[in-house]
Amino acid sequence: MDVVRRIGAIMFAPDEEWSVIAREPGTPGYLFSQYVAGLAAIPAICGFIGSTLVATATPPGELRWSLLTGLFAAAFSYVLTFVVVYALAIVVDLLAPKFGGRKDFTNALKLTVYSHTPAWLAGFFLMIPGLRFLALLGLYGVYLFWRGLPPLMRAPPAKALPYVGTIVACAVAIALLVGAIRTALFAVPELV
């Protein structure tokens, strides 16, 4: 797979690229090793740099994790990315018939993996404290997901928006759970 070409195509010509993706094979091992492994490292590495080496300026001082805590948090986030992508693919596949789509786990996984591309790319902003809010640009992935539902899951376009809304609600619930676990495992950064 030419990852750079795929990133450009999914970001700037998603309708054409979803048609190409629909015809490709997509085993979890292949998608995770060839695509997710590299891109999911971006927010993990940049978040590590931003929270341990750069720190966050606040009125009382700078907040920063120790290197060891930051390393464990980055590794935790990286591994959990694979779990979250796989779990969302299961949900996408299970809900397909409820929205007039066709169950197909391979396509659900491809849809989930490739629609996460903007979020992973926006992870670069986690390195720069004043620009961390730009990680919200990763929400472009919701649009990509919406555009990919009809060709991959065979969801009728009229039912694609409620399908997306349901998946986004599930993704938010998963994100809140992951955030709570991360907060419990890794203390709030220290004031330095």
CB 167 within 8 A of CB 145: yes
> pLDDT band for position 17 (50/70/90)?
very high
Picking from 92, 97, 95, 96, the residue whose alpha carbon sits closest to that of residue 111 is 92
- Percent of the chain surpassing pLDDT 90: 71
Structure tokens at 191: 């004031």
Which has more confidence, 167 or 133? 167
pLDDT at 106: 96
Tell me the backbone φ, ψ of residue 6, rounded to 5 degrees. -65, -45
Structure tokens at 74: 């980055």
CB 43 within 8 A of CB 120: yes
